[in-house]
Structure 1
């Protein structure tokens, strides 16, 4: 998530101080990705250093108000115009957890999948209800939150489907391992019986 560009976009709307930027960001995204206020001010310091924002001064209440510069406006317009790159996908803790689980002995992968499926379906139900309630209000201000909810719903649906695939793959792997073990046992019996049969013929 680009906090840098998100703050620039909000400053393009109007000058604000750090806490206002945090509140606006969380309001417009439904507080799905909460911001740490320290992170906001650290980002503002970097944006100021890079000439993308400038301090307007004190608002009279002890808050430093920031405004976007021409360079900052160009930066945020470029951000809106460019597609989000997938070269470095964000870390997916669930995918990492399962990838490690299948490579380590003694880990019940099926239990991990089942527990996650229950949690994911519960989250999907919550997102769907929130979307239904928000859509019923039919307010223009809710459009941003609806977009976020749609994204969360689609992502969670995809996660449930992926978990189904993971479970099917585990079942298939277990069946293949069982068949392989059965073949080994069968071959072992045949090899052991061969000399005995030869002796019997003599």
Structure 2
């Protein structure tokens, strides 16, 4: 939530959105409306590819980075527990993909693309875990 509101405040300051006060169901809410300048910036943003494929901010990278030299055995345990998390995530995404295949609607293509992206990222993450495990085990074998 903090990320969303700080981004909206920055966009408000930059003139990309305007704040419209509105009341809904007895409570005051903030409603933002995109400006013409905001629409132009959105079009520019949509036309550019992201500069980074995927930011390396995920907790697993930080945790593994701290454990790999300090405690390789714990690093291997972390890899195995993370592997279980990814397998559960993959099962959930696969169930969602199967349900979506039975559905109809105007959002289906967008949803299929997002689910495919998520599944492919989990597959890549699992492959990366396998690579990390192999490297840790090889290093452990050399030190013995």
**Fold match, TM over 0.5?**
yes
Determine if the alignment matches structure 1 residue 47 to structure 2 residue 14. Answer: no
TM-score, length-normalised on structure 1? 0.61
Unpaired runs of 5+ residues, structure 2, are none
Secondary structure of the 1:108 match is helix
Separation (CA, whole Å) in 2 of partners of 1:126 and 1:106? 30
Shift in Å at residue 106 of structure 1? 7.1
Contact persistence 2:72–2:136 (CA under 8 A): no
Contact persistence 2:64–2:75 (CA under 8 A): yes
Aligned-residue CA RMSD in angstroms?
2.4
Determine if the alignment matches structure 1 residue 118 to structure 2 residue 84. Answer: yes
Bigger CA radius of gyration: 1
Unpaired runs of 5+ residues, structure 1, are 1-35, 179-202
How many residues were matched structurally?
Answer: 141
Shift in Å at residue 107 of structure 1? 4.6
In the other structure, the counterpart of 2:122 is 156
Shift in Å at residue 88 of structure 1? 8.4
Kindly tell me: are residues 39 and 165 of structure 1, through their superposed partners in 2, closer, same or farther at Cα, counting changes over 3 Å?
A: closer
Separation (CA, whole Å) in 2 of partners of 1:150 and 1:102? 31
TM-score, length-normalised on structure 2? 0.82
In the other structure, the counterpart of 1:139 is 105
